[in-house]
Structure 1
């Protein structure tokens, strides 16, 4: 499913956190948002998964206006994994994943065999079937991310929104999580801090600075040394990944002026 964001602006306390952002995510594409802390990445994504209402602009899923949909309808099309997920109660992994079925159930409806099959397949798909009876709070960071992705997949969306999905994960877990996302075949809109992970896994990258998109394109086209110096304040050296050929970045400090 295609995602269209048109002229999106978010203003809070007379400060524009996001200003006039327009971007497209084609069906099945993995689209990355990168930029310094405070650049507006998370604010933009919060609008897409309806945690925040934009001041101006439009978001469309498959051509339909997001804000005109019921929350149930939008949840059937789009699932989100925010940057921080509160878990005060120690639900089992199976219970956490089952929450992904709520948009497809009537109020007070009981879990069906189809729901259980869908949740079981989602857990198996992320390699976490053996965790079904574990308490969510007992899991490692990487295991929790797998379970939360399984919950999103059990929701059976067409669009997946991820805000820093690799936070707090070691490098092996980061690669595993992004490979799972890539293999899902969904349209994915994700914010990433690690530019090399973004270059490796994203079809298109949008660089955001000061609430505006300052560069867009395939990783090789968007992540240029000149732009990285201007936006991130670092000197970047670009090399080709020896196996994938993807752009890989080596960084050092800019020389003193």
Structure 2
């Protein structure tokens, strides 16, 4: 499923947080948003998963205006893991993951054997099957994040929107989770803080600064020392990853003027 963001603008309390952003995540692509803190990444993604209505422009799923769909129908097509998603659920892990099945159930939610199989597979897929009977509140931050990713996968969407999905994860978990998401064949639109993770996993990167897209393209073409100095205010040294050849970055401070 293709996601198109068309001329999106967001104004909140008199401040323009996103300015005329247009981008596309093609079917099955893994597309990253990178940019400094406060650049507009999360605001843009909140429009994509319907937590925020844009001031102008629209989001389309395979050509359909997202806001023309019912909440249930959009939830069948698109799942999201917001940055602030670690909430204080007083449920077991299995119950939290089962929430991802709600868009597929009728008015009277009844959990089927298929729902249970889907939830088990999602938990196992993120390496959290052993947590099924644990209380959500007893988990570490990294464990909670994996469970919430499993909940999104249990929703069986065709589009996955992730806002800093590797928060609270150690490096092995970061690599495992992003590889898992990529292997699922979904269309993925994600904000990533770690530029090296973005370079390793993304087909396409959009760099956003002060609410505008300032560069778009393959990681090797976009993550240049000149752009990183301009947008992130750091000096970057590019090296090839020894196994994949993907561009990787070493950073230090810009010299004083």
For structure 2, the 5+ residue unaligned runs are none
**Is 1:114 matched up with 2:107?**
no
CA contact (8 A) 2:90 2:135 kept: yes
Is the Cα contact below 8 Å between 2:93 and 2:147 reproduced in 1? yes
SS in 1 for 2:196: helix
The aligned residue for residue 245 of structure 2 is 245
Deviation at 1:86, TM superposition (A): 4.3
Report the number of matched residues. 257
TM-score by length of 1: 0.97
Cα deviation, residue 14, structure 1: 2.0
Q: TM-score, normalised by structure 2?
A: 0.97
Tell me, which stretches of 5 or more residues in structure 1 are unaligned?
A: none
> Could you tell me which residue of structure 1 aligns to residue 15 of structure 2?
15
1:104 aligns with 104
The answer on 1:150 being equivalent to 2:156 is: no
Match in the other structure for 1:89: 89
State how far apart, in whole Å, the 2-side matches of 1:16 and 1:142 are. Answer: 33
| Secondary structure at 2:111 match in 1 | coil
Whether the 8 Å contact between 1:87 and 1:137 is mirrored in structure 2 is no
CA distance in structure 1 between the partners assigned to 2:116 and 2:198 by the alignment: 34
Deviation at 1:19, TM superposition (A): 0.4
The answer to which of 87-96 and 3-12 deviates more is 87-96
- State how far apart, in whole Å, the 1-side matches of 2:145 and 2:13 are: 34
- What aligned pairs does 1:187-202 form with structure 2 within 5 A after superposition? 187-202=187-202
Shift of 1:167: 1.3
Do the aligned partners of 1:145 and 1:177 also contact (CA within 8 Å) in 2? no
Tell me if structure 1 keeps the 8 A contact 2:145–2:168.
no
In the TM superposition, residue 174 of structure 1 has moved relative to its aligned partner by: 1.4
For 1:168-179, list aligned pairs within 5 A.
168-179=168-179
1:108 Cα deviation from its structure 2 partner: 2.2
Match of 1:65 in 2: 65
